Amino acid sequence: MTEQMKIVRHSEQTLRTALISKNPRLVSQYEKLDIREQRLMNEAFQPASELFSPITLHSQSDWITSHPEAPQDFEEFFSDPYRKTPSPEKHSIYIQSIGALGNTRVISEEYIKWLKGYCEAFFYGLTVKLLEPVSVSATRCSFRVNDHTQNLQIHAGHILKFLKKKKPEDAFCVVGITMIDLYPRDSWNFVFGQASLTDGVGIFSFARYGRDFYSSHYEGKVKKLQKKSSSDYSIFDNYYIPEITSVLLLRSCKTLTHEIGHIFGLRHCQWLACLMQGSNHLEEADRRPLNLCPICLRKLQCAIGFSIAERYKALVRWIDGESAGTPRATPKHSREDSVNLPKPVESFKEWKEWIIKCLAVLQK
């Protein structure tokens, strides 16, 4: 594999134009940014930058090689007529869980709160709200057993329709999350997620992020699908759910923010190593960083209007486990409910160090 490794290196001029643009209006918009923010973003075109590095392709099956698409610079993002931007009326990201996310209700509830907190820090300035969890049967989606992997799969397009119907008035977008694998159409093997930018809805599955999905002893294999009717969803009742490890939390935070990034109109990044790079397989998804490159960061800042330093501080607070939410009320239910599970953040430690370096540049 290594002999095929290839570095995608753009010239300083190309990166400068991708970030700042040559359009005088956008250049002056950039120059009005806080000088410290400019200093951080200008790292994009410093060849020796310790913060942002070029994209490395490891094999022919990597995204850029197998899905040629036009790159999107800041100017193209800014002038995209179809791009959706949050407004005071539509200012909330909603998360809808479909089926159980954890092996107990407490794990499911804690895990979705971790994802909510992460999205609040990442899309700093927007509100993130949780919709009441629903069962698979509530979505009325089609489902099947995958011929190759023998696991249960639910139809992504049907779930998008369900989410669109449920979209609250103040929603900028609604994202569904599930631990059940997805397929977009009969001829496809699987899909990690699918979104409709025009409707502002997305569905993402974390089924393949568990540590054992690709192993021979994966417990989500189904011997035979016995359906009494197309409305018989009983097979999902006690279906296998992977353990929520730190790696699974990291992967799900990455997928969620990457896909919501698309709903903001950010296309796949081809400038620098970045969360918004496309990925064809898990290994490639694991290689891409949690952070946005300066070009994509400027796009997101332009859409939301946050202070970059405040956003980074919020991400550090999330990693450090300082909850932004209210303290937990005394539960009315069983003792099991009062367990406060520690957030498994070991996998985020390296990223925290990186954010602290960025904050140092911003606070000079």
| Cβ–Cβ < 8 Å for 222, 241 | no
pLDDT value for 230 = 66
**76: CB partners within 8 A, 6+ apart:** none
Measured at the CA of 277, the angle between CA 84 and CA 129, to 5 degrees, comes to 45
248 three-class SS: helix
Residue 332, in any domain of the structure: no
Nearest CA-CA partner of 294 in 321, 312, 313? 312
106 three-class SS: helix
Report the C-alpha gap between 17 and 29 in whole angstroms: 14
| Residue 62 Cα distances to 9, 66, 210, 214, angstroms | 16, 6, 21, 19
Q: What is the mean pLDDT of residues 37-58?
A: 91
The token duo for 49 is: 């930058």
Nearest CA-CA partner of 64 in 122, 10, 3? 10
Measured at the CA of 315, the angle between CA 311 and CA 319, to 5 degrees, comes to 170
The token duo for 64 is: 């850029």
Model pLDDT for residues 169-183, shown as the tens digit of each residue? 999 999 999 999 999
Range 124-127 contact pairs with CB under 8 angstroms and sequence separation of 24 or more = 124/304, 124/306, 124/310, 124/311, 124/314, 125/304, 125/305, 125/306, 125/311, 126/86, 126/91, 126/92, 126/93, 126/172, 126/304, 127/91, 127/92, 127/93
What CA dihedral angle connects 99, 103, 109 and 114, to 10 degrees?
-100
CATH number for 158: 3.40.390.10
Q: Looking at the structure, do residues 299 and 170 belong to the same domain, yes or no?
A: no
Q: Looking at the structure, do residues 78 and 96 belong to the same domain, yes or no?
A: no
Q: Looking at the structure, do residues 121 and 255 belong to the same domain, yes or no?
A: yes
DSSP labels, 124-152: BTBEEEEPPPB-HHHHT--EEE-TTT-BE
Measured over the CA atoms of residue 340, residue 343, residue 346 and residue 351, the dihedral's sign is negative
Given 259, 284, 310, 353, which residue is catalytic? 259
Pairing mode, strands 201-205 and 55-57: unpaired
Q: Looking at the structure, do residues 73 and 130 belong to the same domain, yes or no?
A: no
pLDDT value for 228 = 59
DSSP labels, 326-341: PPPPPPSS-GGGG--P
User: How many separate domains does the chain show?
Assistant: 2
What radius of gyration, in Å, describes the C-alpha atoms of the chain? Answer: 21
Model pLDDT for residues 113-129, shown as the tens digit of each residue? 999 999 999 999 999 99
Q: How confident is the model at residue 332 (pLDDT cuts 50, 70, 90)?
A: very low
The token duo for 289 is: 């960083």
From 20-34, 36-50, 274-288, 316-330, the region with the lowest mean pLDDT:
316-330
Query: Which residues constitute the domain of residue 160?
Result: 92-223+235-259
Q: Looking at the structure, do residues 79 and 96 belong to the same domain, yes or no?
A: no
User: Hey, how many other C-beta atoms are within 10 angstroms of the C-beta on 63?
Assistant: 20
The token duo for 97 is: 């869980």
| Cβ–Cβ < 8 Å for 272, 52 | yes
Q: Looking at the structure, do residues 120 and 78 belong to the same domain, yes or no?
A: no
Q: How confident is the model at residue 326 (pLDDT cuts 50, 70, 90)?
A: very low
Q: Looking at the structure, do residues 141 and 25 belong to the same domain, yes or no?
A: no
The token duo for 273 is: 């190593």
Q: Looking at the structure, do residues 53 and 174 belong to the same domain, yes or no?
A: no
Q: Is 259 a catalytic residue?
A: yes
The more confident residue out of 224 and 180 is 180
pLDDT value for 327 = 42
Measured over the CA atoms of residue 50, residue 319, residue 286 and residue 266, the dihedral's sign is negative
What CA dihedral angle connects 131, 137, 139 and 143, to 10 degrees?
130
User: Hey, how many other C-beta atoms are within 10 angstroms of the C-beta on 226?
Assistant: 9
pLDDT value for 331 = 43
Residue 229, in any domain of the structure: no
Q: Looking at the structure, do residues 113 and 252 belong to the same domain, yes or no?
A: yes
Residue 141, in any domain of the structure: yes
pLDDT value for 185 = 92
Report the C-alpha gap between 192 and 206 in whole angstroms: 7
Q: Looking at the structure, do residues 24 and 96 belong to the same domain, yes or no?
A: no
pTM recorded for the entire structure: 0.90
Q: Looking at the structure, do residues 61 and 120 belong to the same domain, yes or no?
A: no
pLDDT value for 347 = 93
Q: Looking at the structure, do residues 346 and 217 belong to the same domain, yes or no?
A: no
